[in-house]
Each structure stands twice: as structure tokens, then as C-alpha cells.
Amino acid sequence: MTRVSVLTNPTSGNNRKGFAPLAARLAAYPEVTHHITRSADEARALMPGLRAEAPDVVVINGGDGTIAATLGLMLDHWPEGALPLVMLVPGGTANMTAGDIGLASSPHRALARLCRWLDAGAPLVGADIRSRHIMRVTGAADGAVRHGMFLGTGAIMQATRFAHENVHSRGLSGEISLGLILIRALWGLIRQDPRFYQPTHVALTLHGDGAPVTRDAAPMLILVASTLDRLFLGIRPFWARGSGHIGLTAIRGGAARFGRGILSVLRGRPNRHATPANGYESFRADRIELRLDGELNLDGELFTTAGGEIPLIVSAQGPIRFLCPPR
């Protein structure tokens, strides 16, 4: 019998409405252990007991931040290479991580898929297993170590504020909400609307294949880094080759032909306008040093750097194996 442990954050976006039906469905499976964690401190306190359960599969039901924090704690508590398989249920607001390696894009469909798998005896043979790394981030002003699978600054911050004030506050969630945010942000950037067009000065050093790659401090209109293969709406904005597990794409402030190049960048297939000479670059690395003064978005959490003299260090940890049972 496959040992299954479920961790649910009932305060995550979609779980605020759907927690009771989910808890009732899971209660019908006595072989499943269901843990409720409402904060990072509660999740941290749970970890020793969770490891003692020796689950074959850990199901994380929460948003991007909950998923990232839980995976970071699991890496801290399990020996290297001994992590259980992980399943993701999109219980949050944006659910970008679950959209790439989760059970489904909607909580309802994900729960139905999870229950079908449990009804079939929770088989591991023949299931789709995908490996991803996670980013470990140090150098924040508060000194905390963070984990995440999406990191962004520059216009990402303006888009995040627009999302909180105008989209998520109205109850919209999932890929539809992210699509609306993307359209509004791109329109603002094309028009150089100051509400969105606010480059952040960033210096980069990337460690991957070969010698380190360095970029002096320059205004970055958009800077995104991720260990996911797919962001929302099928966006894959990383086109560099190499073995590094973190993709990073940087678009400088004043990048030429932005309106003609940005859609090709989002597809990961830059056209003749999206060149390094015009201000568009993509890299792959296992360790990235960022020097900037300002805010970043890590899986929906906003935090401030410790300052330009103290680098923000982003390093790849893993791999973590994600289980996706048949539909």
C-alpha cells in the first residue's frame, strides 16, 4: 500500500472556499494522513513527524508560496536524494507551480484526479514523474532563507501590485487572472506608462557551464528567473542552452523594438528584434548573484534585498520528483 500524506494550507486563496469539501473527501480514505498547516511555523513544526510517517507520496495542497516553503522544509529534513514523491493540488490564487507540474489547473479537477488515483490503490507504476529543482534564495534584508520556483523584479513588481489591487482583490484567480495581468502590464510597457515602466538597476553574475558570466549594473525593465519548464498560459521565456537548472531572462530598460519582440520572448523563440544588442538576454545557471536595491517577487511573496553591497544569492537545489498520475 502506498503511504500518502497530505498537507493543506486552508488560508491559501482557493482553499478558503473549497477546504471543507476537500477535507470531507480525504476523510473517506483512512490510509491517507491529512495535516493542516496555516503558517510556516506550523509547517516547520510538522516536518519531524511527517518524516517519521515515511510517506511514499506527499501531496501539497496550497498556493505557490505554500508549495515552495514546504519543499524547502522537506529538503532540510530529508537526507539528500531520499525525498518522497510530491503531488501538487492548486489551492492558491495564482497556482503557477501547480500549472507546470501539478494535477490540474483547477482545484476541483485536481481533487477529482487525486481521488481517482487513490481509488485505484495509489499506484506508482506507470505514473508520470517529472523532476524539477527549486531555488534557494539568501541575501534578503530580513536575513531569512527563502525557497521558490519563480523570481522576478522590475516590471514584475508593478504587475504584482496591479494584480493585488485590481484583480485578485476582486476574487479572480488562476490562469485567467494571470492572463489579464499580463495583457495590462504589456500594454503599459509598450506605451511606457510610468505605472509599469520602472526599470530596476541590477548587476548579474551567473555560474553554470564554463566561466562565470557577468553583467555590470544596468536598468532592467524585466528580470525573471525560474526552475519551471512552463509558466502560466504556456509561457516559456527562457531560450539559452546549457545544463543550468535555473533559467534567467533579462530585458534592459530602453530595449529596442519592445512591442515587436516581447511576444517572441514569451514563447522562448526570440525573433530578429529580441537580440542582446537590442537589450534581450537569456541564460541558464545553477547559481546567480544579483546586486540591487529594491523588491523582488518570489512565488508571490514580496521581499526587499539587503542592499547592493550584499548580493542576493539564488542557487538550485534538488532535484525533486513530482508525481502526476494518469488523467
Placement of cell 516559456 in the chain: 236
The verdict on 97 and 152 lying in the same domain is no
Reported as a pLDDT band with limits 50, 70 and 90, residue 131 is very high
Digit-coded pLDDT (tens) for 1-40: 899 999 999 999 888 888 888 899 999 999 999 999 999 8
The verdict on 164 and 308 lying in the same domain is yes
Contacts 24+ apart (CB under 8 A), 211-214: 213/283, 213/285
The verdict on 189 and 111 lying in the same domain is no
Q: Three-class SS of residue 236?
A: coil
Separation of alpha carbons 252 and 256, rounded Å: 9
Could you list the residue range(s) of the whole structural domain that residue 296 is in? 135-318
Look up the CATH number of the domain holding residue 112.
3.40.50.10330
The verdict on 200 and 281 lying in the same domain is yes
Residue 271 has pLDDT above 90, yes or no: yes
Given 125, 147, 170, the domain boundary residue is 125
Write down the pLDDT at residue 168: 79
Judge if the upstream peptide bond of residue 319 is cis by omega within 30 degrees of 0: yes
Question: Count of domains in the chain?
Answer: 2
Separation of alpha carbons 76 and 47, rounded Å: 9
Whether the CB-CB separation of 162 and 185 falls below 8 Å is answered with yes
The verdict on 313 and 168 lying in the same domain is yes
Given 73, 94, 125, the domain boundary residue is 125
Judge if the upstream peptide bond of residue 219 is cis by omega within 30 degrees of 0: no
